[in-house]
Chains A and B, each alone.
Chain A
Amino acid sequence: MEARAKLIDVAAFLDRVDRASGPGDFRWTALRGALAELASEKSGRAERVLLALSDPTLEPLAAAPGKGAAGAWPGKSA
């Protein structure tokens, strides 16, 4: 029941975004990419979802762009 409720919450969130207007958001793109892992039959889905939303680079940033995290990596161009 818990997983069912969470799945419907995610579905409702996607519907809510469909109804919204405004510019795109890199987090939306990243979330859609990570969602594909839910349909995978291979174990390790939680780890792969986390990695799909992570900064994959290893070079330290020249300066911290603030303190907060967004939830997804905006890419090198951001």
Chain B
Amino acid sequence: MRYIEPHGHMVSRVTDDYVNMVTAGCAAVCEPAFWAGFDRSSPDGFFDYFKQLTEYEPKRAAKFGLPHYCWLCINPKESEDVRLAEEVIALIPQFLNAPGVLGIGEIGLNKNSRNELKVLEMHIDLAARHDQLILVHTPHLEDKWKGTKLILDALKNDRRVKPERVIVDHVEEHTVKLVLDAGHWGGMTLYPESKCTAARAIDILDTMGTDRLWMNSACDWGVSVPLAVPYAALEMRKRGYTPGQIDQFVFGNPARFMSQTAKFKMPE
């Protein structure tokens, strides 16, 4: 089996995870910019993080034969400080020409505040000005439905945004239809507790179809499973999906979305 991990925070993972992912058939990994688990104290911290994402981590992944791509932004969890966000967003254009940068992400909302919304609009503007793909984070738990509605409105309000060039991640049963009906792609994140289990993700495929959806592990420094995508592929097999359908979903779909930028090279 081959698959693409379209959302993994690999700077938080150990080399054993790279070994296990490649052994399981991972053909490429894509890393959105994330919150470090603590607030960075200055734009310099982000500058170093962007260097890590665009220079160091691709080299580390390459040691295991794994192509590494990334997305850049200030994560919604650090977007309450608009002044800091402005300074960080000003740093991003100098990194956009790096070979592995797929676009702007994971932007979005966390607690659905006015400042988070302002920073989201700044990111959407940045992506539009530089013709970048967009990867959106939707809030957790009780904040997800409201945040998804606010995010979809913000994307719709910027007429430069092409819906098919935006993936809205962490969809669940109550938000997936909103996202797909708006013309965007939807990402299902496989977490042991706080997002979709493999069984629920395949339920969503059973009811919504497989077009414009992908699955990811969003593995990071918290409770998460780097092999969640191949485990979910096993669940697909149990439900009667054919090997061809599974390949199309876990490899073909993310490749199709990311091929909208010439930066993404189809894995051999």
In whole Å, how far is B259's beta carbon from the nearest beta carbon of chain A?
32
Q: Given contacts A47-B173, A50-B174, A66-B111, are A55 and B143 in contact (CB under 8 A)? A: yes
B140 at the interface (CB under 8 A from A): yes
Asked if B150 and A55 make an inter-chain contact with CB atoms under 8 angstroms apart, the answer reads: no
Asked if A60 and B174 make an inter-chain contact with CB atoms under 8 angstroms apart, the answer reads: no
A29 at the interface (CB under 8 A from B): no
Which residues does chain A contribute within 8 Å of B200, judged by CB atoms? 46
Which residues does chain B contribute within 8 Å of A55, judged by CB atoms? 112, 142-143, 145-146
Which residues does chain B contribute within 8 Å of A58, judged by CB atoms? 146, 149-150
Interface residues on A, range: 20 to 34
Q: Which residue of A lies closest to B39 (CB)?
A: A67
Asked if B116 and A64 make an inter-chain contact with CB atoms under 8 angstroms apart, the answer reads: yes
Which residues does chain B contribute within 8 Å of A54, judged by CB atoms? 142-146, 174
Which residues does chain B contribute within 8 Å of A65, judged by CB atoms? 111
In whole Å, how far is B162's beta carbon from the nearest beta carbon of chain A?
25
Asked if A64 and B174 make an inter-chain contact with CB atoms under 8 angstroms apart, the answer reads: no
A55 to B146, CA, bound (A): 6
Q: Given contacts A47-B173, A53-B141, A69-B139, are A63 and B114 in contact (CB under 8 A)? A: yes
Asked if B112 and A61 make an inter-chain contact with CB atoms under 8 angstroms apart, the answer reads: yes
In whole Å, how far is B82's beta carbon from the nearest beta carbon of chain A?
11
In whole Å, how far is A40's beta carbon from the nearest beta carbon of chain B?
14
B31 at the interface (CB under 8 A from A): no
Residues in A39-78 with C-beta less than 8 Å from chain B: 46-47, 50-51, 53-58, 60-73
Taking Cβ atoms with an 8 Å cutoff, the residues of B that contact A are 35, 77, 80, 110-117, 139-146, 149-150, 172-174, 200, 203
9 pairs from A and B in contact (CB 8 Å cutoff): A50-B174, A54-B143, A55-B146, A60-B114, A63-B114, A64-B116, A67-B77, A68-B140, A70-B141
Taking Cβ atoms with an 8 Å cutoff, the residues of A that contact B are 46-47, 50-51, 53-58, 60-73
